[in-house]
Amino acid sequence: MNINKPGSAVVAALAAAALFGASTPLAKQFVGNLSALLLAGLLYLGSGVGLLLLRLLRDKGWQDPGMTRPQWPWLLAAVVFGGVLGPTLLMLGLARMSAASASLLLNLEGVLTALLAWIVFKEATDRRVVLGMLLIGLGALLLAWPVFIDLVTGGAGAALVVTACFCWALDNNLTRQVSSADALFIASVKGLSAAVINIGLAMASAQSLPAWDITGPVLLIGFFGYGLSLVLFVVALRHLGSARTGAYFSAAPFIGAAIALGVFHETTSIWFWLAGILMAGGLYLHLTERHEHPHWHGEMQHSHAHFPDIQHRHEHR
């Protein structure tokens, strides 16, 4: 993708959402054959191994990923929160509540990502972006409305899933700090780390790997839906920031739902369509944003082809 073209980062974020959204209904077809832990582990394995091989082919061997010494702690923290704690908490939550309810609660990740970006990491924003995220957040609440009974009767499971969302939101903001490095390297490290944890937990509970006719398709879904999706997400983070990228990525549940409705003939409710209208309005506000503000930054060394990003076009001395 040519990052010098205006809007390329937005395309990257929406493409990431499309790939990840498509992976959900596709992976669901294997739920009856695999446990949640093993399925997650194989998806991450397809992501990590596939991206690692792709990087080796692209660079014709191992090359420096462009990580500076101060960036390594950020990446390690992102791996811990996003690749280890997030998936583990989600699986623990799934054991205590329905998968459908947990899936709807995962919409909170985008809202939490934006809140952390603005409050903790001091990312620049404006009223239009805040209003857009508010609409997306309201859409997420509408989607979660049918699971309020689960929240009351199965509070422990819901609390674990919400905590997983917080871990992934923190992961998104931490990854933003290392997004100047090679996106393929970052995504492969996170994928392999999550694969080791999830498959390790599955093996510890006496589970075994399935036949290749199941393992192969799951690895392929993981490569596209988790691997390439994450690479595009990192590219978008580099230019848009955590809050805006998270907002565009909120389109993922609806892309997945569209596939579920059109391909697998699943049904939905009025809540889905109302939430879709709100989230579409929020995405429109973000897509049509024109953001400028005076600011200063110190000397910067770029390890990637650089063009002033969409929010910060200005002259460099």
- C-alpha distances in Å from residue 81, one per residue of 97, 168, 235, 289: 22, 7, 20, 31
Are the C-beta atoms of residues 17 and 259 closer than 8 Å to each other? no
Domain ranges of the chain: 8-62+71-287
pLDDT confidence of residue 151: 54
pLDDT confidence of residue 250: 72
Task: Classify burial at 211, counting beta carbons within 10 Å of its beta carbon; exposed 0-12, middle 13-18, buried 19 or more.
Answer: exposed
- Residue pLDDT tens, the chain, 317 long: 444 454 788 889 888 888 887 887 788 778 777 887 888 889 999 999 999 999 999 988 888 888 888 999 999 999 889 877 887 787 777 767 665 556 666 777 878 888 898 888 888 777 777 888 788 778 767 766 655 555 555 567 778 888 888 998 999 999 999 988 899 999 999 999 889 988 998 888 888 888 899 999 999 999 998 899 999 999 998 888 888 887 777 776 667 666 766 676 656 667 777 777 887 787 778 777 665 544 444 444 544 444 444 445 555 55
Task: Classify burial at 209, counting beta carbons within 10 Å of its beta carbon; exposed 0-12, middle 13-18, buried 19 or more.
Answer: middle
Note if the pTM is more than 0.85: no
pLDDT confidence of residue 217: 93
User: Radius of gyration of the chain from Cα atoms?
Assistant: 19
36-59 vs 86-94: helix crossing angle, rounded to 10: 150
Nearest to 173, CA basis, from 234, 223, 213, 117: 117
Token readout for 55 is 């990087």
pLDDT in tens, 179-227: 888 999 999 999 998 899 889 988 888 888 888 999 999 999 999 988 9
